[in-house]
Structure 1
Amino acid sequence: MSSNNSHILSRRAFIRNSSLAGGGLVIGFNLFQACKPKVIAEPAIDLSTLDYNDFNAFIKIADNGAVTIFSPNPEIGQGVKTSMPMIIAEELDVAWKDVYVEQGILDTENYTRQVAGGSQSIRQGWDALRQTGAKARHMLVSAAASRWGVDPSECTVSDGVITNAAGETLGYGEVVNEAALLEVPEEVELKHPKDYKIMGKDATNVDIEKITSGKPLFGLDYKADGMVYAAVVRPPSFGHKLVSYDDSEAKGMPGVIDVVTIGEKVRSLLAEDPGFSSKISSSDKVVVIAETTWQAFKAKEAIKATWEEETPMESTEQHDEILTALLDGNDFNTMRSDGNVKKAFAEADQVLERTYESPFLPHNCMEPMNFFANVTEEKVHLAGPIQTPAWKAGLVAKMLGREEKDIHLEMTRMGGGFGRRLYGDFVIEASEISDKIKKPVKVVYTREDDMEDGIYRMAIKYRIKAGVKDGKLTAYHLKEAAVNDNMYGLIPNFFPAGAVENYQVDAASYDSNITTGAWRAPYTNFLAYAEQSFFDELAEMMEVDKIQLRLDLLQNVKGTTDERIQYSPERMEEVIKLAVEKSGWGTKPAGVHQGFVNYYCHNTHVAEVADVEIENGEPVVKKITCVVDCGIVVNPTGALNQIEGGVIDGVGHSMYGELQFKDGKPTSNNFDGYRLIRMKEAPVVETYFVENEHTPTGLGEPTLPPAGGAVANALKAATGNRLYKQPFIKSPELLKVPEKEIIG
Structure 2
Amino acid sequence: MATGIATKFSRRSFLRTSSLAGGGMLIGFNLFTACKDTVKMPADISQLNYNDFNAFIKISDEGMVTLFSPNPEIGQGVKTSMPMLIAEELDVPWEHVNVVQGVLDTKNYQRQVAGGSQSIRFGWTPLRETGALAKQMLINAAAARWGVQASECTASQGVITNAKGETLGYGDVVNDAAKLEAERAAQVAANAENTDAEVEKEEIILKDPKDFKIIGQDIGNVDIDEIITGKPLYGMDYKAEGMVYASVVRPPSFGQQLESFDDAEAKAVPGVLDVIRIGDKGWSLLTKEQRNWTVKLGETDKVVVIAKNTWAAMQGKKAIKATWGEGTPLESTANHDKELLALLNATEFNTLRKDGDVEKAFKQADKIIERTYESPFLPHSCMEPMNFFADVTDSKIHLVGPIQTPESSAEAVAEMLGRDLDEVHCEMTRMGGGFGRRLYSDFVLEAAEISDAIRKPVKMVSSREDDMTTGVYRPAIKYRIKASIKDGQLTGYQLKEAAVGGNMYGLIPNFFPAGALENYQVDVASFNSNITTGAWRAPYTNFLSYAEQSFLDEIAEAMEVDAVQMRLDLLQKVKGTTDERIQYSAERMEDVINLVVEKSGYRTPKPGVFQGFSAYYCHNTHVAEVADVVMENNQPVVKKVTVAVDCGIVVNRLGALNQIEGGVVDGVGHAMYSNFSFENGAPKSKNYDAYRLIRMREAPEVETHFVENTLSPTGLGEPTLPPAGAAVSNALRKATGKRIYRQPFINDLMDTEIIG
User: CA 1:52–1:377 in 2, change beyond 3 Å: closer, same or farther?
Assistant: closer
* Residue 94 in structure 1 maps to residue 111 in structure 2: no
Pairs within 5 Å for 1:373-388: 373-388=390-405
Letter in 2 for 1:143: A
**Partner residue of 1:151?**
149
How far, CA to CA, are the matches of 2:349 and 2:128 in structure 1?
Answer: 45
Conserved 8 A contact 1:69-1:85: yes
How far, CA to CA, are the matches of 1:686 and 1:326 in structure 2?
Answer: 41
How far, CA to CA, are the matches of 2:258 and 2:370 in structure 1?
Answer: 47
- Render the CA deviation track for 1:239-281: whole Å, top value 9, x for unaligned: 1001111111111110010000001104444577543564314
Q: Structure 1 unaligned runs (5+)?
A: 35-47, 738-744
How far, CA to CA, are the matches of 1:225 and 1:138 in structure 2?
Answer: 44
* Residue 119 in structure 1 maps to residue 117 in structure 2: yes
How far, CA to CA, are the matches of 1:734 and 1:379 in structure 2?
Answer: 57
* Residue 109 in structure 1 maps to residue 145 in structure 2: no
User: CA 1:717–1:446 in 2, change beyond 3 Å: closer, same or farther?
Assistant: same
- Render the CA deviation track for 1:204-242: whole Å, top value 9, x for unaligned: 000000000000000000000010100111111001001
**Partner residue of 2:600?**
583
Conserved 8 A contact 1:3-1:127: no
**Partner residue of 1:312?**
329
How far, CA to CA, are the matches of 1:106 and 1:615 in structure 2?
Answer: 52
Pairs within 5 Å for 1:242-321: 242-270=258-286, 273-276=290-293, 278-321=295-338
Tell me how far 1:386 sits from its aligned partner: 0.3
Pairs within 5 Å for 1:470-549: 470-487=487-504, 489-549=506-566
Length, aligned pairs only:
720
Conserved 8 A contact 1:365-1:415: yes
How far, CA to CA, are the matches of 2:31 and 2:251 in structure 1?
Answer: 40
* Residue 441 in structure 1 maps to residue 458 in structure 2: yes
More deviation, 49-58/432-441: 49-58
**Partner residue of 2:71?**
73
Conserved 8 A contact 2:12-2:200: no
* Residue 190 in structure 1 maps to residue 206 in structure 2: yes
Q: Could you tell me which of 161, 169, 176 is aligned with 2:159?
A: 161
Conserved 8 A contact 2:29-2:55: yes
Tell me how far 1:2 sits from its aligned partner: 4.4
**Partner residue of 2:716?**
699
Tell me how far 1:26 sits from its aligned partner: 3.3
How far, CA to CA, are the matches of 1:105 and 1:236 in structure 2?
Answer: 35
**Partner residue of 1:39?**
none
Tell me how far 1:642 sits from its aligned partner: 0.2
**Partner residue of 2:27?**
27
Tell me the secondary structure at the aligned position of residue 360 of structure 2.
helix
How far, CA to CA, are the matches of 2:515 and 2:734 in structure 1?
Answer: 29
How far, CA to CA, are the matches of 1:51 and 1:373 in structure 2?
Answer: 22
**Partner residue of 1:11?**
10
How far, CA to CA, are the matches of 2:31 and 2:169 in structure 1?
Answer: 28
Letter in 1 for 2:56: F
User: CA 1:15–1:219 in 2, change beyond 3 Å: closer, same or farther?
Assistant: same
Tell me the secondary structure at the aligned position of residue 543 of structure 2.
helix
**Percent sequence identity over matched residues?**
67
**Partner residue of 2:687?**
670
Conserved 8 A contact 1:278-1:513: no
User: CA 1:650–1:28 in 2, change beyond 3 Å: closer, same or farther?
Assistant: same
**Partner residue of 1:648?**
665
* Residue 423 in structure 1 maps to residue 423 in structure 2: no
**Partner residue of 1:218?**
234
Tell me how far 1:330 sits from its aligned partner: 1.8
**Partner residue of 1:742?**
none
- Render the CA deviation track for 1:346-393: whole Å, top value 9, x for unaligned: 111111111100000000100000000110011011100000001010
Tell me the secondary structure at the aligned position of residue 66 of structure 2.
strand
Tell me the secondary structure at the aligned position of residue 475 of structure 2.
coil
**Partner residue of 1:44?**
none
Tell me how far 1:130 sits from its aligned partner: 1.1
TM-score by structure 1 length? 0.94
Tell me the secondary structure at the aligned position of residue 724 of structure 1.
coil
Letter in 1 for 2:10: R
Q: Could you tell me which of 360, 365, 375 is aligned with 1:348?
A: 365
Letter in 1 for 2:247: A
Conserved 8 A contact 1:279-1:515: yes
**Partner residue of 1:40?**
none
Tell me how far 1:399 sits from its aligned partner: 0.8
TM-score by structure 2 length? 0.92
More deviation, 400-409/161-170: 161-170
Tell me how far 1:14 sits from its aligned partner: 4.8
More deviation, 583-592/523-532: 583-592
**Partner residue of 1:361?**
378
Tell me the secondary structure at the aligned position of residue 669 of structure 1.
coil
How far, CA to CA, are the matches of 1:733 and 1:32 in structure 2?
Answer: 53
Conserved 8 A contact 1:14-1:184: no
Tell me how far 1:28 sits from its aligned partner: 3.6
* Residue 682 in structure 1 maps to residue 699 in structure 2: yes
Tell me the secondary structure at the aligned position of residue 454 of structure 1.
coil
How far, CA to CA, are the matches of 2:414 and 2:112 in structure 1?
Answer: 17
Tell me the secondary structure at the aligned position of residue 88 of structure 1.
helix
Q: Structure 2 unaligned runs (5+)?
A: 35-42, 185-198
**Partner residue of 2:192?**
none
How far, CA to CA, are the matches of 2:528 and 2:327 in structure 1?
Answer: 16
How far, CA to CA, are the matches of 1:586 and 1:84 in structure 2?
Answer: 39
Tell me the secondary structure at the aligned position of residue 495 of structure 1.
coil
**Partner residue of 1:601?**
618
- Render the CA deviation track for 1:319-357: whole Å, top value 9, x for unaligned: 001011111112211111111111111111111111100
Pairs within 5 Å for 1:399-414: 399-414=416-431
User: CA 1:470–1:131 in 2, change beyond 3 Å: closer, same or farther?
Assistant: same
Tell me the secondary structure at the aligned position of residue 214 of structure 2.
coil
How far, CA to CA, are the matches of 1:733 and 1:443 in structure 2?
Answer: 41
Conserved 8 A contact 1:26-1:58: yes
* Residue 84 in structure 1 maps to residue 82 in structure 2: yes
Tell me how far 1:131 sits from its aligned partner: 1.1
How far, CA to CA, are the matches of 1:32 and 1:711 in structure 2?
Answer: 42
Tell me the secondary structure at the aligned position of residue 536 of structure 1.
helix
Tell me the secondary structure at the aligned position of residue 331 of structure 2.
coil
How far, CA to CA, are the matches of 1:366 and 1:295 in structure 2?
Answer: 22
How far, CA to CA, are the matches of 1:380 and 1:581 in structure 2?
Answer: 57
How far, CA to CA, are the matches of 1:29 and 1:576 in structure 2?
Answer: 41
More deviation, 344-353/89-98: 344-353
Letter in 1 for 2:626: V
Tell me how far 1:732 sits from its aligned partner: 4.9
- Render the CA deviation track for 1:24-75: whole Å, top value 9, x for unaligned: 44334445489xxxxxxxxxxxxx9977744541112122212111112110
Tell me the secondary structure at the aligned position of residue 264 of structure 1.
coil
Tell me how far 1:153 sits from its aligned partner: 2.4
User: CA 1:549–1:15 in 2, change beyond 3 Å: closer, same or farther?
Assistant: closer
**Partner residue of 2:40?**
none
How far, CA to CA, are the matches of 2:705 and 2:227 in structure 1?
Answer: 28
Letter in 1 for 2:304: V
- Render the CA deviation track for 1:380-428: whole Å, top value 9, x for unaligned: 1110000000101001001111100100111100000000000011100
User: CA 1:9–1:117 in 2, change beyond 3 Å: closer, same or farther?
Assistant: farther
Tell me how far 1:132 sits from its aligned partner: 1.1
Conserved 8 A contact 1:211-1:217: yes
Conserved 8 A contact 1:723-1:734: no
Letter in 1 for 2:209: P
Conserved 8 A contact 1:419-1:519: yes
